[in-house]
Amino acid sequence: MNLTTDYLGLKLRNPLIVGASPFADNGSVAQQLQDAGAAAIVMRSLFEEQIDAEQRALTYHLETPAESNSEATSFFPAYDEYQLAPELYLKQIERLKKQLSIPVIASLNGCRPGGWTDYAVKFEGAGADAIELNLYQLVTDPDVPGDEVEADMLETVRSVTSSVRVPVSVKISAFHTAPANFAMLLQEAGAQGLVLFNRFYQPDFNIEDLEVEPQLKLSDSSELLMRLRWLAIISPNFRKSLSASGGVHSTEDLVKAILAGAHSVQLVSLLLRQGPRMITLLLEGLGEWMTTHGYDNLGEFRGAMNLQRCPDPAAHERANYQRILQSWKV
């Protein structure tokens, strides 16, 4: 049974990747994940705001007289609240590279072109095997049109992909007007792969204190469905790698993501809840499913349910929406 896959030009022993999260902060935890079968690990993100804050802190110390007050820096975490300062981040890449045999993917998180993208070069210098560029953004300014936002994103991607030799994947949101077209533009901008999708953390309202409360809820399998649909739509035309991220909690979920066209599948919530052994269990389940269905390798069924190859393409499209709404009778 051959579970190997090509992701971003990296030969992985199987499709399971530990997604961007705190797991790679700790070398012995990363080791356990590798021992359980993880084929690669993505580090938590280094953020545009964090890098800018470091630059500002440096300028402040160099240029500001000791007695003046600094301005409060709004909503962002204070500089020392980030878990890995930029310098430590680079050291952590080096440490993981010495310790692990699987690829280490460093994550850079931001969306506007700027000096912060220079960190991609530093990641490469520290030994990262690939870079995952997360374009997480929430546009709240009513004067900013979508095409301007996407143009900025593409410029950011170009500035990263043109400055490094290691492959760059781009983690995007599902909420673009035309994700299939945006995927092709990212490919033209040099992305070697896409990670579908970012998960938005929805704040809740506290109706007693009238406060907006941030919260981090882990995912469940229902979140996979949106990923399956867009993997199925994007994969027939996208020539580079695709990774499913969000809502993979079982062997069945893993198989579905590959059927939709994924080359790799990222796990975070499942591992936070149930630990590294879930990687071993999912891989065993994948092997059993492949045996039952007569497959020897992943290429034989990758994309078999995508928009081009599935028996009922309309099920992925607007036609299905109409059919489903008509199915309710009262």
**Which residue ranges make up the site for ligand FMN (CB under 6 A)?**
19-22, 44-45, 107, 109, 134, 171, 199, 218-219, 223, 245-248, 267-270, 272
CB of 178 to ligand FMN, least distance (A): 22
What are the structure tokens assigned to 103, written together? 């690829």
Return the number of the residue (44 or 316) whose C-beta is nearest ligand FMN. 44
Minimum CB separation of residue 310 from ligand FMN in Å reads 24
Least distance to ligand FMN from the beta carbon of 137, Å?
A: 12
- Minimum CB separation from ligand FMN for residue 131, in Å? 12
Residues 6+ apart with CB under 8 A from 55: 115
Q: Cα–Cα–Cα angle for 317, 148, 150, nearest 5°?
A: 45
Contacts of 71 (CB under 8 A, 6+ apart): none
Q: How far is the CB of 314 from ligand FMN (least distance, A)?
A: 28
Q: Is the peptide bond before 182 cis (omega within 30 degrees of 0)?
A: no
Tell the smallest beta-carbon distance from residue 209 to ligand FMN (Å). 25
Give the Cα separation of 260 and 263 in Å (integer): 10
Nearer to ligand FMN (CB atom), residue 20 or residue 231 = 20
Question: Which CB, 153 or 270, lies closer to ligand FMN?
Answer: 270
Which is closer to ligand FMN, CB of 132 or CB of 150? 132
Of residues 36 and 267, the one with the C-beta less far from ligand FMN: 267
Buried b / exposed e across 283-305, counting CB within 10 Å, b at 16+? beebeebbeeeebeebeebbbeb
**Contact between residue 241 and residue 169 where contact means Cβ atoms under 8 Å apart:** yes
Q: 88-95: long-range contacts at Cβ-Cβ below 8 A with a sequence spacing of 24 or more?
A: 89/43, 89/46, 90/122, 90/123, 90/125, 90/126, 91/126, 92/24, 92/25, 92/43, 93/43, 93/123, 93/126, 93/127, 93/128, 94/126, 94/127, 95/27
CB within 8 A of 294, min separation 6: which ones? none
As measured in angstroms, the least distance from the Cβ of 23 to ligand FMN is 9
Q: Which is nearer to ligand FMN, 150 or 223 (CB)?
A: 223
Cα distances from 216 to residues 50, 67, 166, 169, 269, in angstroms, run 20, 39, 32, 24, 11
Least gap, CB of 259 to ligand FMN (angstroms): 18
What is the CA 157 to chain-centroid distance, rounded?
A: 14
Q: Select 187 or 219, whichever has its Cβ closest to ligand FMN.
A: 219
Structure token digits, residue 50:
């964090």
Paired with 16 in beta bridges are: 265
Of 171 and 176, the one with the shorter C-beta distance to ligand FMN is 171
